[in-house]
Amino acid sequence: MDPHAPEDRPATRMPTMRDVAQRAGVSRQLVSLVLRGGPGPSLESRNRVLAAAAELGFRPNASARLLRQSRTRLIGMMFTALNSFEVRVAERLLERAADIGFGVALGPITDRRTTEIVIRELLEQRVEALACFNPDPGSPALRQALGLMPVVWLGERSAEPRADVVRTDDDAGLAILVDHLVALGHRDIAFAGGLGGTVGPDRAATYRAAMTSRGLADRIDQVLVGFGEEDGATAARVLMARVRLPTAVIGCSDHCGAGLVATFARAGISVPGTVSVTGYDDSDIATLSYNDLTAIRQDVDLTVDATLDGIQRRLSNPASSPREVATQATLSIRSSTARARTNA
Amino acid sequence: MDPHAPEDRPATRMPTMRDVAQRAGVSRQLVSLVLRGGPGPSLESRNRVLAAAAELGFRPNASARLLRQSRTRLIGMMFTALNSFEVRVAERLLERAADIGFGVALGPITDRRTTEIVIRELLEQRVEALACFNPDPGSPALRQALGLMPVVWLGERSAEPRADVVRTDDDAGLAILVDHLVALGHRDIAFAGGLGGTVGPDRAATYRAAMTSRGLADRIDQVLVGFGEEDGATAARVLMARVRLPTAVIGCSDHCGAGLVATFARAGISVPGTVSVTGYDDSDIATLSYNDLTAIRQDVDLTVDATLDGIQRRLSNPASSPREVATQATLSIRSSTARARTNA
DNA sequence: CCTAGGGCTTAGCACGTGCCAATCGATTGT
DNA sequence: ACAATCGATTGGCACGTGCTAAGCCCTAGG
Residue-wise pLDDT for A199-216, tens only, equals: 889 899 999 999 999 999
Which chain B residue lies closest to A260 (C-alpha atoms)?
B290
Q: Mind listing the pLDDT tens digit for each residue in B93-114?
A: 999 999 999 999 999 998 899 9
Chain B residue numbers with beta carbons less than 8 Å from the beta carbon of A90 are 81, 108
B262 to A290: CB separation less than 8 angstroms, yes or no: yes
Q: Mind listing the pLDDT tens digit for each residue in A124-138?
A: 999 999 999 989 999
Segment B310-328 shows an average pLDDT of 92
Q: Mind listing the pLDDT tens digit for each residue in B181-215?
A: 999 999 999 999 999 877 889 899 999 999 999 99
Tell whether the model's pLDDT for residue A4 goes beyond 80: no
The string over A133-161, giving b where at least 16 C-beta atoms fall within 10 Å of a residue's C-beta and e elsewhere, is bbbeeebebbbbbbebbbbbbbbbebebe
The strands making up A129-133's β-sheet, listed across from edge to edge, are A103-109, A74-80, A129-133, A151-154, A164-168, A324-327
CB B215: neighbour CB atoms within 10 A? Answer: 10
Counting Cα atoms < 13 Å in the Cβ hemisphere of A282 gives 17
Tell whether the model's pLDDT for residue A6 goes beyond 70: no
The helix/strand/coil state of A187 is: coil
**Closest Cα to residue B329, out of B210, B173, B179, B205?**
B173
Under a CB-based contact definition with an 8 Å cutoff, are residues A59 and A32 in contact? Answer: no
- 3-class DSSP string for A278-301: EEEECCHHHHCCCCCCEEEECCHH
Query: CA A42 → C1' D1, Å?
Result: 30
Under DSSP, the state recorded for A191 is E
Selected for mutation to probe chain B from A290, A301, A304 (highest B CB count within 10 Å) is: A290
Share of chain B above pLDDT 70, in %: 96
Alpha-carbon distance of A103 to A131, in angstroms, equals 13
pLDDT-based confidence at residue B343 (cuts at 50, 70, 90): low
Chain B residue numbers with beta carbons less than 8 Å from the beta carbon of A123 are 14, 59
Report which secondary-structure segment, H or E, holds A276: strand A276-281
* Nearest CB to B262 within list A94, A230, A265: A265
Selected for mutation to probe chain B from A83, A266, A301 (highest B CB count within 10 Å) is: A266
**Closest Cα to residue B265, out of A246, A259, A241, A255?**
A259
Segment A87-93 shows an average pLDDT of 93
Segment A295-301 shows an average pLDDT of 90
B87 to A87: CB separation less than 8 angstroms, yes or no: yes
CB A163: neighbour CB atoms within 10 A? Answer: 25
Q: Mind listing the pLDDT tens digit for each residue in A17-45?
A: 999 999 999 999 999 999 988 787 888 88
Fold of A6-60: 434 Repressor (Amino-terminal Domain) (1.10.260)
Alpha-carbon radius of gyration of chain B: 27
Strand D contact at CB of residue A45, distance < 7 A:
yes
Footprint of strand C on the protein (CB under 7 A): A 13, 16-18, 28-29, 32-33, 35-36, 58, 60-61, 64-65, 67-69; B 26-27, 29-30, 33, 40-42, 44-45, 64, 67-68
* Nearest CB to B126 within list A63, A82, A259: A63
Of B235 and B39, the one with more pLDDT? B235
Strand D contact at CB of residue A47, distance < 7 A:
no
Alpha-carbon distance of A79 to A281, in angstroms, equals 16
Alpha-carbon distance of B258 to A278, in angstroms, equals 19
- 3-class DSSP string for A251-274: ECCHHHHHHHHHHHHHCCCCCCCC
Tell whether the model's pLDDT for residue A11 goes beyond 80: no
**Closest Cα to residue A12, out of B297, B145, B185?**
B145
The helix/strand/coil state of B288 is: coil
Look up the CATH number of domain A170-298: 3.40.50.2300
Average pLDDT over chain A, rounded to whole? 90
Under DSSP, the state recorded for A309 is H
Which chain B residue lies closest to A125 (C-alpha atoms)?
B62
pLDDT-based confidence at residue A343 (cuts at 50, 70, 90): low
Segment A93-115 shows an average pLDDT of 93
Chain B residue numbers with beta carbons less than 8 Å from the beta carbon of A6 are 316-318
Name the E strands within chain B.
74-80, 103-109, 129-133, 151-154, 164-168, 189-194, 221-225, 248-251, 276-281, 294-297, 324-327, 330-332
pLDDT-based confidence at residue A2 (cuts at 50, 70, 90): very low
Which chain B residue lies closest to A65 (C-alpha atoms)?
B63
Under a CB-based contact definition with an 8 Å cutoff, are residues B200 and B227 in contact? Answer: yes
Strand D contact at CB of residue B338, distance < 7 A:
no
B70 to A108: CB separation less than 8 angstroms, yes or no: no
Strand bridging mode A330-332 / A294-297? antiparallel
Nucleotide nearest to B63 (CA to C1'): D16
Counting Cα atoms < 13 Å in the Cβ hemisphere of B151 gives 24
Could you tell me how many residues make up chain A? 344
pTM given for the model: 0.85
Chain A residue numbers with beta carbons less than 8 Å from the beta carbon of B284 are 82
Query: CA B66 → C1' C12, Å?
Result: 20
Alpha-carbon distance of B340 to B343, in angstroms, equals 9
**Closest Cα to residue B77, out of A17, A63, A120, A81?**
A81
Under a CB-based contact definition with an 8 Å cutoff, are residues A223 and A192 in contact? Answer: yes
Could you tell me how many residues make up chain B? 344
Which positions in strand D are less than 7 Å from the protein's CB atoms? 7-12, 14-20
Query: CA B66 → C1' D10, Å?
Result: 28
Tell whether the model's pLDDT for residue A3 goes beyond 90: no
A12 to B71: CB separation less than 8 angstroms, yes or no: no
- Determine if residue A83 is left, alpha or beta; phi over 0 gives left, psi from -120 to 50 gives alpha, anything else beta: beta
Tell whether the model's pLDDT for residue B83 goes beyond 80: no
Nucleotide nearest to B36 (CA to C1'): D18
CA A64 to chain centre: 30
Nucleotide nearest to B14 (CA to C1'): D16
The helix/strand/coil state of A62 is: helix
pLDDT-based confidence at residue B6 (cuts at 50, 70, 90): very low
Alpha-carbon distance of A117 to A139, in angstroms, equals 9
CATH class of B72-167+300-327: alpha beta
Segment A272-299 shows an average pLDDT of 89
- Structural domain boundaries of chain B? 6-60, 72-167+300-327, 170-298
CA A20 to chain centre: 41
Tell whether the model's pLDDT for residue A323 goes beyond 90: yes
Distances (CA, A) of A166 to A66, A306, B317: 28, 7, 49
Alpha-carbon distance of A39 to A36, in angstroms, equals 9
Q: Answer whether A6-60 and A71-167+300-326 agree in fold.
A: no
Segment B73-84 shows an average pLDDT of 89
Average pLDDT over chain B, rounded to whole? 90
Chains A, B: CB contacts under 8 A, how many? 147
A59 to B124: CB separation less than 8 angstroms, yes or no: yes
Alpha-carbon distance of B252 to B266, in angstroms, equals 21
Question: The CATH number of A71-167+300-326 is which of 3.30.365.10, 3.10.310.30, 3.40.50.1980, 3.40.50.2300?
Answer: 3.40.50.2300
Tell whether the model's pLDDT for residue B70 goes beyond 90: no
* Nearest CB to A67 within list B67, B262, B266: B67
